[in-house]
Structure 1
Amino acid sequence: MIMRFIKKVPAGMMIVPMLIASLINTFIPQIVQIGSFTTAVFTSAGAATAIGIQLFCLGTTLQFKEMPKVFKRGGILLLSKFAIGAAIGIGIGKMFGMAGVLGLTTLSVISAVTNSNGSVYLSLMNEYGDETDAAAMALLALNDGPFLTLIALGASGLANIPFIALVAAVVPIVVGMILGNIDQELKNFLAPAGTILIPFVGFALGAGINITNIVKGGPQGILLGLICTFLGGIFIVFCDRFIGGRPGYAAWAVSTTAGNAVAVPAAVALIDPAWQAYVGTATTQVAAATVVTALLVPFITDWWAKKYGCPKYPLKGQEFKSQKLAEQKA
């Protein structure tokens, strides 16, 4: 009964646990703050570990012979997501300064629009995409944190780029990829864990979200979520369709704001203290955008996939070389 309900919700394996955890964190956080394994599993304390293990296991699915296809598909999504976020954020910064416009700070715009929720993307790709779509999540993990935000700020001359952040983000993926290519049996053993961990990652990320942040972020936070979803999403879909030749469902799936992005403003201020005065406002706005995009994007992706085709819902004349689709037909 529970699984049937979850399957009816787009990206339900990620969204449902995330919403439950956010409700707990908002109203009764003390019930999971009792220490030991309970706190490790059911709070945001375990988010980084869960995501790291997930990336490692996904890395084992990246076979060297498939890398050109993964880099092409994931690279278009990654670069277009970064390009639109950097363009909007730097444009606002150059014209209006750090304080931004319409109550949206430059820091919150760049932090939200350049980051995407990899777990929501993976959950959606497991439902609508194919193996290459799912494998691209390992590449897209580069924008789930402060690195690309810092590159955007660095491009405008406002922050330095910490190379170690890139290294830290890709080590689990690279190690998993090496082991998965060395030993096929090891790959077969570890690969399913990337999917199994989705609800745990969703819960851990949700445990770091306070629903009242939508109120604290105000209309600016909601506006930021809409900018990320629609303004960012339309550009990414354009690139996915006309450069990548894809239907566009994966582009919508990446049009979110990462849960980790909530910590990006503070991370930026640690490197460039000039941003410190804007951290509080930016954090609440990004938190609101995280919730808004997590709620909107799965339903938009579902509608788009059914209208324009995907491995699960191919249109007449469309062909998707997907093992998943073959298994569904069998």
Structure 2
Amino acid sequence: MKILKTVQKVPGGLMIVPLFLAAIINTCFPQALKIGGIATATFNTGALAFIGCNLLCVGAQINPKGVAESLKRGAALTIAKFLAGFIPAIIVAKIFGNAGILGITPLLLLAAVTSDNCGIYLGLMPEIGDEYDLGAQSLLGLTAGPLFTLLGLGAAGGGFNPIAIIASVATMVVGFILGNLDEEIRDFLKPGITFTLPFIGFAVGSALNIVNIIKGGPTGLLLGVLVLVLSFIFLVPVDKFILHRPGYAAVANCSSASSSVAVPAIVAQAIPSLSSQVGAATTALAASAVITAIVCPIMTSMAVKKWGTGKVTGADDSSKAQNA
């Protein structure tokens, strides 16, 4: 059976196919992946560990000349992703207050739009991007949590948590050091970039429940559309006109993190006045995560066909990618 070749024909298939398989299993048999022990650690709760391993392998492939490029791309896209949620949330808050409009509240916009499903980005980049796109994940990882939502709501204590930055880049820094100290270590770790993708995809998918699209109702559907549209509007111009890149990396970040479903409860602890929104917000965010996980890879594939890829094999290809 040509299972691997069939999977690789799907854009980002090494990550996307396991993600949907896990989502289906989690939807139909939610306890199957929570039996405990090694099975649960591998197939359910291991997303961050596998992402960490992936970034370590990625870091080993980056030479000193490429560090600035990776950080530049990561910083630009991370700031754009934050603004994509922050600016619309401010506008909604000023006009409609915390209650929002059509069920879309400032809290929902911040939690959904400023978050990013890093697993999808990592799953797509090995096939369409270069090592610097992968290295950018060290900063893009800051979007996978409540940090930006809390900052946007003014509830982060007025300071940026430096530990969050260290935690996001630590494994990539270790890989960078090892890969540049020993060329053989760099070669040894290179296959790990691809090898970890199915595990990342499955672990990410195990947190998704397709039924949540239905439970989220019109609000969840509208929120998912807003995540895709607002992220596209803010990120693509940055990728194209500031970073002078084709634009595929921006589109690959037009998703909403599954971890964002926990953000409303976290925010409510800091801002008790928002506690009444937790239930509806959690359901809508879950729906948004599933919707964007389905649509974002498709949009990215279309972007690659229209604008080109960053995958380079030589000087000529590199020049084409930079000028796309």
Using the TM superposition, give the Cα deviation of residue 237 of structure 1 relative to its aligned residue in structure 2, in angstroms.
0.9
Is the CA contact 1:42–1:203 (under 8 Å) kept in the aligned structure 2?
yes
Task: Say whether 1:111 aligns with 2:111.
Answer: yes
The Cα offsets for residues 224-244 of structure 1, whole Å up to 9 and x where unpaired, read as 111111232132111211112
TM-score of the aligned structures, taking structure 1 as reference length: 0.87
In the alignment, which residue of structure 1 is the partner of 2:38?
Answer: 37
| Aligned mates of 1:69, 1:313 — CA distance in 2 | 16
Contact 1:142-1:170 within 8 A present in 2 as well: no
Q: CA deviation at 1:86?
A: 1.1
**Kindly tell me: are residues 48 and 304 of structure 1, through their superposed partners in 2, closer, same or farther at Cα, counting changes over 3 Å?**
closer
Please name the residue that 1:327 is paired with.
Answer: none
Decide which moves more: 291-300 or 57-66: 57-66
Structure 1 segments of 4 or more deviating over 4 A? none
1:52 corresponding residue in structure 2: 52
Mapping for residues 237-256 of structure 1, pairs under 5 Å: 237-256=236-255
Give the superposition deviation at 1:162.
6.1
CA distance in 2, matches of 1:93, 1:216: 25
Residue aligning to 2:121: 121
- Are the aligned partners of 2:224 and 2:291 in contact in 1 as well (CA < 8 Å)? yes
Q: Which amino acid aligns with 1:242?
A: F
In the other structure, the counterpart of 2:176 is 177
- Opposite residue 123 of structure 2, the aligned amino acid is S
The alpha-carbon deviation at position 278 of structure 1 amounts to 1.8
Structure 2 SS opposite 1:256: coil
Is contact 1:147-1:166 (8 Å) kept?
no
Summarize the Cα distance change of 1:311–1:170 in structure 2 as closer, same or farther, 3 Å threshold.
Answer: closer
> Matched residues in 2 for 1:97 and 1:159: separation?
20
Q: Deviations over 1:99-131 (max 9, x none)?
A: 222112221211111111122112221111222
Moved more, 188-197 or 131-140: 188-197
1:4-47 Cα deviation digits (max 9, x unpaired): 2212222222221111111111111233333211121122x222
Written as runs of structure 1 = structure 2, the 5 A alignment for 1:1-330 is: 1-43=2-44, 45-154=45-154, 158-160=155-157, 161=159, 163=161, 164-311=163-310, 319-321=316-318
Say if 1:244 and 1:61 are closer, same or farther in 2 by CA, change over 3 A.
same
Question: Aligned letter for 2:281?
Answer: A
1:52-95 per-position Cα deviation (integer Å, ceiling 9, x unaligned): 33333333334332112112222222221111111112222233
Offset of residue 221 of structure 1: 0.9
Structure 1 pair 297–102 and aligned structure 2 pair: CA distance change class (3 A): same
Separation in 1, partners of 2:72, 2:300: 21
Task: Report the AA paired with residue 321 of structure 1.
Answer: S
Q: 1:58, 1:138 within 8 Å by CA — same for their partners in 2?
A: no
Cα distance change on mapping 1:81 and 1:32 into 2, 3 Å: closer
Q: What is the rounded CA distance, in whole Å, between the counterparts of 1:143 and 1:191 in structure 2?
A: 26
Q: Give 3-state SS (helix, strand or coil) of 1:31's partner.
A: coil
Is the 2:58–2:131 contact (alpha carbons within 8 Å) kept by the matching residues of 1?
no
Matched-pair contact (CA < 8 Å) for 2:53–2:171: yes
Percent sequence identity over matched residues? Answer: 46
Structure 1 CA distance, aligned partners of 2:41 and 2:264?
25
CA RMSD of aligned residues (A): 2.5
Deviation digits for residues 156-215 of structure 1 (CA, Å, limit 9, x no counterpart): xx4435614334333333333333333333333234323311111111111111111111
Q: Give 1:277 shift.
A: 2.2
User: Unpaired segments of 5 or more residues in structure 1?
Assistant: 325-330
Judge conservation of contact 2:58–2:193 (CA < 8 Å) in 1: yes
Q: 1:25 to 1:37 in 2, by over 3 A?
A: same
Bigger CA drift: 32-41 or 13-22? 32-41
Q: Which deviates further from its counterpart, 94-103 or 216-225?
A: 94-103
- Helix, strand or coil at the partner of 2:201: helix
Q: Which amino acid letter does the alignment assign opposite residue 320 of structure 1? A: D
Residue 84 of structure 1 aligns with an amino acid whose one-letter code is A
Matching residue's letter, 1:175: V
Give the aligned length: 316
Distance 1:169 1:94, change over 3 A: farther
- The unaligned stretches of length 5 or more in structure 2 are none
Give the alignment's TM-score, normalised by structure 2. Answer: 0.88
SS class of match (2:194): helix
| CA displacement at 1:282 relative to structure 2 | 1.6
